[in-house]
Structure 1
Amino acid sequence: MIENKDGYVSYAITDNGIATITFQHPMSNSLPGAILRKLAQTVTDLGNDDAVKVIILTSAGEKAFCAGASFDELISITNKEDGHTFFSGFAMVINAMRKCPKFVIARIQGKAVGGGVGLASAADYAIALRGSAVKLSELAVGIGPFVVGPAVERKIGLAAFSELSIDAANWRTCAWAQEKGLYASVHDTIAEVDEAVLSLATTLSKSSPEAMKDLKEVLWQGTEHWDELLASRAGISGRLVLSDFAVNAISTFKAKA
């Protein structure tokens, strides 16, 4: 576990091979670079662990699932190289989830913004609490959902991704997210969410690891170029975050937080 003012990432593995990764940040589970790098490494390590059969990805608390990029870190970026490095963290997590030979189930207990929508999209299966609305707010702060875009588009289609990314100031409901395929199922209480997550994870833990690995490869066919694609997209975001528009918009959003 890492635990500091920027939050933590932890994991636990049950006897039947269900690994649960939990991330936390005091600002609505936002994602600074340290959290992103640790998430990517943890997913990779658990994917390579023969004792692990399936992975659950969740965040701490009972409110937001993930508020996306850390505004504190965004506002501190002063050059393209640092910008590229920061946004590459999102690329690392998405690619780690994509290449992980184990299925990743996302437990969504609250709203998801920006990079949080990217995490939900990169998961192989997402189970959500009713009320877990989604928003891609990047364009509103002068950036655009470039790095998470391929994962979101793959999950919900180009039309829905365009709607979500262009209308960046407004939330889409949990029902919308389920209709578009981001959420596989939606439940009224957190107890029901946990029951559904555990039930699926338990079933998968008894399934053939080889068959699940092969099926995941089939499901992710056509994304083999994402290492290069997402690195390139990180460069776009790293450049745009330095613009006067983005600096002013991020400062304004941060002041309201």
Structure 2
Amino acid sequence: MNTNGTITTTIENKIATLTFSHPASNSFPSNQLQALTNEINALSHNDLVTTIVLKSEGEGAFCAGASFDELLQVNDMDTGKAFFSGFANVINAMRCCKKVIIGRIHGKAVGGGVGLASACDYVFATTNASIKLSEIAIGIGPFVIEPAVSRKIGKSAMAEMTLAPTEWKSAQWAFDHKLYAQLFDTTAAMDEALQVFANQMASYNPEALYEFKKVLWEGTENWDALLYERAAISGKLVLSDFTKNALNAFKK
């Protein structure tokens, strides 16, 4: 088992399958966030790729968000901002990517994992893919991912999740609020439908897809600055005694 996590890509029939993994419920330390950002940027400029499928390994959680181990090591505002900027980098890379990104959400998504799902252009999910924004409970907040999540589900639903940080929202709830485009009872059924969909996408004019993606993301041009301003807020809050105590209690 790789204790540092992995980022792998396979390309077949113009479809790039981008897979991330980490032994801690597919959570993200900063090096893993940087590796994912770099890979998305590389695929954006790869002429052999028209479509990207973003997925994680295993049968458990899709993504548990930020690495609590690394959050506990943050001791100054610059380090804190740099860590949360990792999620800003990934979301901005997904937003600016020239390829349509299809999300494959097989299991639970927490915090930054919800942000990743929200930054995908089209999402397949199973009924196991419940979601939660737990940040307020540990003294911070989903500030960096909020623009991406609110863009998909709306401010009211975002507030409903954020202010009930211990409550799981079902995959059906996520589907009803347009975070998920298609929902399946089993992983096998999801993968079968996703493969058909991705093959269809790969047959379309990549220039038309890119132009449409730009339309989808209109109005987000300020995110190059906004997400890093949000990262600074989180970076400040993670230094609080409240957050340090909450993180240590959670680990125990």
Range of TM-score over shorter length: over 0.9
Deviations 1:208-227 (A, max 9, x none): 00100000000000000101
| Residue 153 of structure 1, CA deviation | 0.2
1:80 lines up with 2:56 in the alignment: no
Partner of 1:133: 130
For 2:49, the aligned partner's letter is V
Partner of 1:116: 113
Distance 2:107 2:100 in 1: 22
Partner of 1:168: 165
Query: Partner of 1:89: helix, strand, or coil?
Result: helix
Distance 2:25 2:194 in 1: 22
1:56 lines up with 2:56 in the alignment: no
Conserved 8 A contact 2:65-2:110: yes
Distance 2:244 2:96 in 1: 34
Query: Partner of 1:77: helix, strand, or coil?
Result: coil
Partner of 1:46: 43
Distance 1:197 1:73 in 2: 34
Partner of 1:7: 5
Distance 1:196 1:167 in 2: 33
Deviations 1:177-200 (A, max 9, x none): 000000101101111111121111
Distance 2:193 2:124 in 1: 7
1:67 lines up with 2:64 in the alignment: yes
Partner of 2:215: 218
Query: Partner of 1:211: helix, strand, or coil?
Result: helix
Find the partner of 2:102 among 102, 105, 127: 105
Find the partner of 2:251 among 246, 250, 254: 254
Distance 1:34 1:25 in 2: 12
RMSD: 0.8
Query: Partner of 1:31: helix, strand, or coil?
Result: coil
Count of residue correspondences = 252
| Residue 47 of structure 1, CA deviation | 0.8
Distance 2:111 2:233 in 1: 16
For 2:209, the aligned partner's letter is M
TM-score (norm 1): 0.97
Query: Partner of 2:219: helix, strand, or coil?
Result: coil
| Residue 89 of structure 1, CA deviation | 0.3
| Residue 113 of structure 1, CA deviation | 0.1
Unaligned runs of 5+ in 2: none
Partner of 1:156: 153
Distance 1:13 1:32 in 2: 25
Deviations 1:152-202 (A, max 9, x none): 000100110110111111100011000000010110111111112111110
Distance 2:32 2:196 in 1: 28
Distance 2:193 2:225 in 1: 35
Find the partner of 1:185 among 182, 185, 193: 182
For 1:229, the aligned partner's letter is L
For 1:9, the aligned partner's letter is I
